[in-house]
Each structure stands twice: as structure tokens, then as C-alpha cells.
């Protein structure tokens, strides 16, 4: 459905061609629009807009038009109808056609002496982001116990924002779409208004967004879709933090957002545990879990997905021609290019599951084991990075317990960035060089340093 930028673009294009032009009469080819037949020999004095509605100001009437899903206008010099033309406005030297594949668009006609802004449908249309401040929005949101996305889509509260621009506005404001409206602060409400203005103005400048079939006028398309930060970018990297964009359902609409930039609980801290192969990451995670902290292993998520996600397995099979984990292990550690392909397939699935688990945890601190943190480009996704590295003796013992040869260890290690580079990027280090009791002591000391 065309939103404010698209309708504003249509208004501007129509104004250039129609202002001060006289409508001789109107031919209607769809019964629902029969009220237009009363218009004849009237000049178009102005074309206005309120929210997603176009308002044609005529000599003796107003015509209020809503494009809905597929409505569009075009001008031709010939009067011949094209497929799905429902209305023809006849001018002296040209014809304006209203075309609508689905026939969802609406027209309402009013006499000039009527205050159309106090009549249906305009009386129920709320103010635009350009006309209100954060205080207004905050007062509206405090009484709404529904997702903030639902409130922003409500044209009674604020008009002009549809699915595309609500997603983009929420991203720019760093607010999760599922967050309850009545938890939004006045500062955040002001940020939402400011972000909405920026997003809408940029979209208007680029002629709106052509996602499926939008044409502003005479076949012109919009270009804001090339600037989208989250909408339609499921599985792609966030332009800010490099996390993967997620798509789910909110307010009955397909909803796109960055689970990191738009955390549902911004006070929740995510601490990542990483390190080289056979460094003792899992041992550190187990100790933290035994100490009462919530923990998540990305390896466990990956293994579960490999069993349960047909979509992920089919994508792997299609791109790598492999269907078993054993084949994968042999392939990815020996072929860096194919390992990168595998990560590009699996990481969006794994990270989406990770954030689903995080959202279920009603705690403020979560430790997450991510073996390929830097290789996957996830370092900006977490609040602090803990790097675990081991002495040769501990490493060899871990390898022995896992039944992995030293040659395989070298091959797997070569598929990761080197230990020194990981150390430089980490916020905290844990050196695993002693007994389990020694490691427990070091983890407790780590927690003191981290003040958690």
C-alpha cells in the first residue's frame, strides 16, 4: 500500500499537470465510484494530501482519493482504456486515468461548503509526524498496551506511516517493534518523531519506495527501496552492527528489525565467550552455568538446527551438494571458500535462534559461547568479549578426549583467525593452563573484574 512518501510524490506529480486545468466530465467504469459522475466543467484549484489521502480541490467540490494497494494515475492523449482503468477524467487536450488492479481504492465526493476534515474518512485520520512533537506521541502511547509497531501503524494516532516506514523509523530509533507502547519514554517518543521525519523526508526526496508495483504517475517508480536499513533485508547484515536482520510477525504484519540494535530489553547484557579450537570455551561456559548464570552455546543451537531445520539443510545441500555433518566437517576445514559459503548459509539461522532464546530469558546477564565470533563478523553484536586460550598441555588433553588428531587440529585452527589477533580484540582473557579448580578460580576472578 502506498504510504505518505508515495502519496506525496503522486500529489506533486499530479499538481504539475493538473492545477488550473478544467475537468469537462468524468467517465466511471466501476459502480463503486459512481459519485464522481456529478463532476463536470470544474477547474482543479489545488491538490492536497492528508496522511495517505489525496484531496482534489475543485471549483465546487472536493474529491478525496485513497490509492489503497494498487491504485495509480496516468495521463494519455488518447481516450482508449487500458486494462484495469476504472475512471477516466476528461480534460480538453488529454485524459487522466485511474487504474486499479484490485479495485481497493476509494473515492469520496463532497460539496465545497462541507468541512471535509470533519467528515468521514478524513475526520478519523490522525496528525502526521511533521505536525506533532514527542509529547503528543508519548501521551498517546502511555494508554496503549500493545506493541509499539501496532501503535505507529494506527492511522488514528499518527498518519502516513505504513509497514515500510514504521520498520525503518523503529530501527533508526533503536526500538524493538515488539516492545509495549506504554513502556516508551517521552525521550524515546521524541526520537521516534524525529526519526519518522528523517525517514519520510528522504523517501519523499527519492520518490517513495517501489517494492512491488508502486508507480507515482505515468509509470514513474520510487527509489527509496535502495536505501532501506531493515525492511525486506531478512538474513542480510545490519549496516550498523553486522548482526543479521530478522523477520517475524508483529501487529499482523511481516516485520524486519536488527535484534542487536533494537534489543527488546536494552538493559540485558550479552557477554560472549570465544577462543581457538580446544581452548576450553565449553568448560568456562559450564562453570558459569554452575555458578547460576544463564548460558547459551551456539554449537548446541547449530546442532539442533541441523536436525530440525529443513530450510537450512536444503540451503546447504543446494549450495554445497552435501547433506551430512561428517561430510561438512571434512569439507569446510579444508576449503576456506566453501567454509565461508557454509557460514553465510547457517549464521542467519543460528543467530535468529539465539535471539529467540535470549528473549525468553528473564535475566540481565547472559553468557554465550560463540566459537567463530570474529570469523563470522559478530564482535559488534555483544557487549563484552571474553577470549579463552589454553596451554599446549591442556589443548592436547582436550584433543585427546575429543579423539581429534593434531593434524586435524592444525587444519581447523588454520580456518580461524590467529590467537594473537583474537587477544587484541577481546575485552577479557582467561588462560586455561591448570586444573579444573584453577579454571574455576580464574572464572570467579573474571566475574569480579566484570562486576557481574
Which tens digit of pLDDT belongs to each residue from 218-232? 566 666 888 999 999
List pLDDT tens digits, range 239-279.
999 999 999 999 999 999 999 999 988 889 999 999 988 88
Q: Check if the beta carbon of residue 292 is closer than 8 Å to that of residue 206.
A: no
**pLDDT, average across residues 90-114:** 96
Same fold, 4-124 and 129-257: no
CA 205 to chain centre: 21
The dihedral over CA atoms of 391, 392, 395, 400, expressed in degrees to the nearest 10, equals: -150
Q: What per-residue confidence (pLDDT) applies to 221? A: 61
Q: Looking at 49, 197, 253, 384, which residue is catalytic? A: 253
Q: Looking at 2, 5, 129, 348, which residue is catalytic? A: 2
Burial of 274: CB neighbours in 10 Å, binned 0-12, 13-18, 19+? buried
**CATH number assigned to the domain covering 129-257:** 1.10.8.50
| Per-residue confidence band for 424, with pLDDT thresholds at 50, 70 and 90 | confident
Domain ranges of the chain: 4-124, 129-257, 269-450
> What are the DSSP E strand ranges found in 151-298?
246-250, 253-257, 269-275, 294-297
List pLDDT tens digits, range 285-331.
999 999 999 999 999 999 899 889 999 989 988 888 877 777 777 77
Kindly report whether the peptide bond that precedes residue 121 is cis, defined as omega within 30 degrees of 0: yes
Known catalytic residue at 3: yes
Residue 182: which residues within 8 A CB-CB, separation 6 or more? 141, 142, 143, 144, 145
Q: What does pTM read for this prediction?
A: 0.87
Q: What per-residue confidence (pLDDT) applies to 412? A: 67
Q: Looking at 3, 70, 215, 369, which residue is catalytic? A: 3
Q: Looking at 11, 13, 52, 395, which residue is catalytic? A: 52
List pLDDT tens digits, range 366-399.
999 998 898 888 888 999 999 999 988 888 887 7
Residue whose cell numbers read 500529489: 11
Looking at 134-143, 300-309, 314-323, 333-342, which range is the least confident one?
333-342
Domain 4-124 belongs to what topology? N-terminal domain of MutM-like DNA repair proteins (3.20.190)
Strand order in the sheet with 61-66: 72-76, 95-99, 85-90, 22-28, 40-50, 53-58, 61-66, 106-111
Domain 269-450 bears CATH identifier 3.30.565.60: no
Known catalytic residue at 2: yes
Average pLDDT, the chain: 91
Q: What percent of the chain has pLDDT over 70?
A: 93
Amino acid at each position: 500500500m502506498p504510504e505518505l512518501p508515495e502519496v506525496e510524490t503522486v500529489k506533486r506529480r499530479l499538481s504539475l499537470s493538473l492545477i488550473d486545468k478544467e475537468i469537462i466530465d468524468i467517465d466511471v467504469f466501476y459502480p463503486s465510484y459512481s459519485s464522481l459522475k456529478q463532476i463536470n466543467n470544474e477547474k482543479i484549484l489545488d491538490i492536497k494530501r492528508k496522511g495517505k489521502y489525496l484531496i482534489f480541490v475543485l471549483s465546487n467540490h472536493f474529491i478525496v482519493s485513497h490509492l489503497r494497494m494498487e491504485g495509480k494515475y496516468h495521463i494519455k492523449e488518447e481516450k482508449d482504456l487500458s486494462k484495469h482503468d476504472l475512471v477516466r477524467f476528461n480534460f480538453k487536450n488529454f485524459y487522466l486515468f485511474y487504474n486499479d488492479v484490485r479495485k481497493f481504492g476509494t473515492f469520496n465526493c463532497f460539496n465545497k461548503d462541507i468541512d471535509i476534515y470533519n467528515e468521514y474518512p478524513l475526520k478519523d485520520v490522525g496528525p502526521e509526524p511533521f505536525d506533532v512533537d514527542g509529547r503528543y506521541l508519548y501521551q498517546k502511547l502511555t494508554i496503549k498496551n500493545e506493541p509499539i509497531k501496532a501503535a505507529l501503524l494506527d492511522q488514528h494516532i499518527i498518519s502516513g506511516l505504513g509497514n515500510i516506514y514504521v520498520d525503518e523509523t523503529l530501527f533508526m530509533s533503536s526500538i524493538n517493534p515488539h516492545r509495549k507502547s506504554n513502556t516508551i519514554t517521552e525521550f524515546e517518543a521524541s526520537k521516534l518523531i524525529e526519526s519518522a521525519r528523517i525517514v519520510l523526508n528522504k523517501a519523499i526526496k527519492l520518490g517513495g519506495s517501489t517494492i512491488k508495483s508502486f508507480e507515482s504517475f505515468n509509470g514513474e517508480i520510487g527509489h527509496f527501496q535502495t536505501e532501506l536499513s531493515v525492511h525486506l533485508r531478512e538474513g542480510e547484515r545490519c549496516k550498523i552492527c553486522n548482526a543479521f536482520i530478522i523477520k517475524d510477525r508483529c501487529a499482523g504484519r511481516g516485520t524486519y528489525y536488527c535484534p542487536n540494535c533494537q534489543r527488546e530489553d536494552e538493559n540485558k547484557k550479552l557477554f560472549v565467550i570465544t577462543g581457538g579450537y580446544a581452548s576450553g570455551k565449553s568448560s568456562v561456559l559450564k562453570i558459569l552455568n554452575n555458578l547460576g548464570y544463564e548460558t547459551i552455546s551456539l554449537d548446541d543451537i547449530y546442532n539442533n538446527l541441523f536436525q530440525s531445520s529443513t530450510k537450512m539443510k536444503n540451503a546447504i545441500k543446494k549450495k554445497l551438494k552435501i547433506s551430512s555433518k561428517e561430510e561438512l566437517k571434512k569439507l569446510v576445514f579444508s576449503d576456506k571458500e566453501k567454509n565461508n559459503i557454509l557460514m553465510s548459509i547457517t549464521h542467519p539461522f543460528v543467530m535468529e535462534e539465539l535471539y529467540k532464546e535470549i528473549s525468553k530469558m528473564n535475566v540481565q546477564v547472559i553468557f554465550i559461547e560463540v566459537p567463530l565470533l570474529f570469523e563470522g563478523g559478530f564482535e559488534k553484536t555483544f557487549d563484552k568479549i571474553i577470549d579463552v586460550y589454553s596451554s599446549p598441555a591442556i589443548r592436547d588433553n582436550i584433543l585427546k578426549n575429543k579423539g581429534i588428531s593434531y593434524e586435524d587440529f592444525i587444519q581447523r585452527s588454520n580456518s580461524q583467525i590467529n590467537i594473537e589477533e583474537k587477544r587484541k580484540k577481546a575485552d577479557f582473557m582467561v588462560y586455561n593452563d591448570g586444573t579444573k579448580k584453577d579454571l574455576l578460580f580464574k572464572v570467579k576472578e573474571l566475574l569480579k573484574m566484570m562486576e557481574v
